[in-house]
Amino acid sequence: MRVLVVEDERLLADAIAEWLRDEAHAVDLAHDGASALERAGVNDYDVVVLDRDLPAVHGDDVCRELVAAGAAARVLMLTAAAEVTDRVAGLGLGADDYLTKPFAFPELAARVLALGRRSRPAAPPVLRRAGITLDPARREVFRDGRYVPLAPKEFAVLTELLRADGAVVSSEQLLEKAWDEHADPFTGAVRLTVLKLRRKLADPPVIETVKGAGYRIP
């Protein structure tokens, strides 16, 4: 999934981003509300992890703007305030979930995953196709009962191909969901990742290249 982390405490922002990237998400960072709104206007995010207490443009205003703009991204609001009234206020602004600081990174990752499912058309929690079983929560992949160890980008690309349910997924779509805003679309990263995936999934070949269109798992 594509995630935007908006947090002015840079060490915490970097830690969140690193954790989510290890979970095979593409993560962009913003350290203030204005930058967050700028990125959200350009990129198609599944989830926005939003610190409520931002300087300049407050997190509340960022949330309002995202909702008013009809953004598809789900918002997970972070705050040091633990009072029920604060949580109610945050949810009343349009946030989809609320997490108080300090928090456990595994819980944050689980909430991001759950919100990401809600930002798209419904999909089963475990994806299965062509002998492949992928469990996003456990980060496990099996091919015909054989465990397949995958790197985060390989896992992210395979997830998108399985979610497509047989439809073609373009290289641009894969780049959008599996890489962050610094990815160079001309590097061939998608093609290389698909090659590695094919090798790890082994025979018979399961990922088809549709010339001029992209890739699919029929």
Say if residue 50's pLDDT is above 70. Answer: yes
Domain end position, chosen among 91, 119, 147: 119
Q: Which residues pair with 181 in a beta bridge?
A: none
> pLDDT digits over 156-187, tens only?
999 999 989 899 999 888 888 787 766 666 67
CATH code, domain carrying 88: 3.40.50.2300
Q: Mark whether 52 and 152 lie in a shared domain.
A: no
CATH code, domain carrying 139: 1.10.10.10
Q: Mark whether 27 and 84 lie in a shared domain.
A: yes
Number of domains the chain is built from: 2
State if pTM tops 0.95. no
Whole-number average pLDDT of the chain? 87
- How do beta strands 74-79 and 47-51 pair? parallel
Domain end position, chosen among 99, 119, 139: 119
CA dist., res. 30 & res. 21, Å (int): 15
Q: Mark whether 15 and 96 lie in a shared domain.
A: yes
Q: Mark whether 57 and 90 lie in a shared domain.
A: yes
- Domain range spanning residue 143? 127-216
CA distances from 42 to 4, 38, 65 (A): 12, 7, 14
Q: Report which DSSP code applies to 131.
A: T
Quick one: pLDDT at residue 132? 95
